[in-house]
Amino acid sequence: MDLSSNKLTGDLPTCFFNNYSLLVLKLSNNNLGGLIFGGASNLSIAWAMYLDSNNFEGTLPSNLSGNLNVLDLHDNKLSGELDASFWNLSSLQVLNVASNRLNGEIDPAICKLTNIQLLDMSNNNFSGSTPNCIGTLPLIFLNLSWNSLSGYPGEFVNSSYIAALDLRYNQYMGDLEWVAYLYWMKLLLLGGNMFEGQIFSKLCHLRHLNIIDFSHNKLSGSLPLCIGDISFEYGAYDTQILSSISDSILVVAFPNIDYDDLSFMFTSQYGLQSFTFSTKGNFHIYSSSLLSLMFGIDLSANMLSGEIPFEIGNLRSIKSLNLSSNFFTGRIPATIANMSAIESLDLSRNDLSGQIPGDLTRLWSLEVFSVPYNNLSGCIPCSGQFSTFNTESYMGNINLHNSSKGGTCVPSSRPMEEEDLAESCVDPVLYMISATSFVLALCATFSSCYSILSGGM
């Protein structure tokens, strides 16, 4: 039964969930409310329930149907703890309870979910350590972000088949050496925790990454020289990941879609329906349909230092690179000009010096360029996309100069205004035309004067 997106309101009676003839119940995206499952403690729906995006309240019962394969309750008003008896769902393959008001610790009994593949408990109030036994589960998608969970993920994330891991904005700590063993990883989202230590070169061995978010941690040291070896490409491995998902889940989630074209987009139904990523100066929400098209690295707000390696220019497919709010020194690598797909480049609030490489004007896809509060000097490039960037892209660099109308570089005696930037980026062809006109006019004047003088003589 599918009644999703019908603007339904009111409460659901208990008998609605005790219909033995129902295999699948979809009530997603309505305005239904009242106690979850109508207050029923024993459910007879045999296969899948989608009650997400409603206003259901109350606590989750402990005696759900042991035959459930899919349970999607995200974006409701559920509260309370999930005690040990809730996890007696050995057939469950998908559980999504994100964006509720659930709290307490995650009980080790969660490891009774021996068939679970997609687990999303994000945006709740869970706290305490994460059970290590989670690492024994056949998870492909795990989202525990926006809670108050703690511990060392290396103890509970050890599945070589996991493709998406979102642990952002918790209290996890320790080093990141464990990520090197996540071979099939595509979305590695660890921002907003307390991870420390260096970024290990083993990270470069991960060949299937789309997104790396290590922002707002305590990482230190220099970037590994091999960072340019990360492929950031969409390929056949997406289909391999897809094939590892239970066929029964896909049949329920996508009954009318060609699996050959589905690729990584099957996440639209579960877990990572969308994700936020800092790019172009803001946090943007990317839908699952864009997962296979978005490639980015966010290492902002750490304690990384040293020079940005020139090998970073080998990331030709990357669309967003954020290295802001660190302690990088040296020059901006001219090899960044090889990152032909890049749309957002944020190097602000570091200690970079030297000139902005003129080769960067070849980046025709670049929409955001941010280098405020460094020690850059020399002229601001004016051609290409650089003619579109305002003064906010450069502020805080006292030795960074505009170009004068004569084409030379002159210091600004005051903070750059919009008209200064516009003045510095006038088309050089116009300069040539103006100069040529001036020379011709000057020659005509001399010629006229010479004729007058000759006639007088």
Give the start-to-end residue ranges of the domains of the chain: 9-328, 432-457
- Classified as helix, coil or strand, 440 is helix
| pLDDT, mean of residues 23-43 | 82
d(CA 394, CA 383): 16
| pLDDT, mean of residues 366-370 | 95
| Each residue's pLDDT tens digit, 56-75 | 999 988 777 778 899 999 99
Residues ≥6 apart with Cβ < 8 Å to 217: 190, 191, 192, 193, 194, 195, 196, 301, 302
How many CA within 13 A on the CB side of residue 69?
Answer: 15
Q: Pick the residue with more confidence: 167 or 265? A: 167
d(CA 185, CA 412): 48
Quick one: pLDDT at residue 360? 96
Quick one: pLDDT at residue 288? 46
- Classified as helix, coil or strand, 327 is strand
d(CA 303, CA 328): 9
Quick one: pLDDT at residue 417? 42
Using the predicted structure, report yes or no on whether residue 14 has a pLDDT greater than 90.
Answer: no
**Phi then psi for 404, rounded to 5 degrees?**
-80, 170
| pLDDT, mean of residues 384-405 | 87
β-bridge pairing 399-403 and 409-410: antiparallel
At CB < 8 A and 24+ separation, what contacts does 15-24 make? 17/43, 17/44, 17/45, 18/42, 18/43, 18/44, 19/44, 19/45, 20/44, 20/46, 22/46, 23/47, 23/48, 24/48, 24/49, 24/50, 24/252
Q: Pick the residue with more confidence: 234 or 196? A: 196
| Each residue's pLDDT tens digit, 99-112 | 999 999 999 999 99
CA neighbor of 372 nearest in space, from 428, 324, 418, 334? 324
CATH number for the domain whose boundaries are 9-328: 3.80.10.10
Using the predicted structure, report yes or no on whether residue 330 has a pLDDT greater than 50.
Answer: yes
d(CA 347, CA 330): 12
Quick one: pLDDT at residue 221? 97
Helix (H) or strand (E) holding 77: strand 77-80
| Each residue's pLDDT tens digit, 199-252 | 999 999 888 899 999 999 999 999 999 999 988 866 544 545 544 444 444 434
d(CA 219, CA 192): 11
CA neighbor of 191 nearest in space, from 217, 173, 218? 217
- Residue 333: other Cβ atoms inside 10 A: 19
Quick one: pLDDT at residue 386? 92
Using the predicted structure, report yes or no on whether residue 151 has a pLDDT greater than 90.
Answer: yes
Of the candidate ranges 238-242, 266-270, 389-393, the one whose mean pLDDT is the lowest = 266-270
Quick one: pLDDT at residue 438? 42
- Tokens (6 digits) for 427: 């088309």
Amino acid at 238: D
Q: Pick the residue with more confidence: 18 or 197? A: 197
Quick one: pLDDT at residue 67? 80
- CB contact at 8 A, 109 and 131: no
Q: Pick the residue with more confidence: 165 or 244? A: 165
Average pLDDT of the chain to the nearest whole number: 80
Q: Pick the residue with more confidence: 73 or 258? A: 73
Burial class (CB in 10 A: 0-12, 13-18, 19+), 232: buried
Helix (H) or strand (E) holding 320: strand 320-322
- Tokens (6 digits) for 452: 């007058």
pLDDT tier, 282 (very low <50, low <70, confident <90, very high otherwise): low
Quick one: pLDDT at residue 16? 72
pTM for this prediction: 0.82
Using the predicted structure, report yes or no on whether residue 85 has a pLDDT greater than 80.
Answer: yes
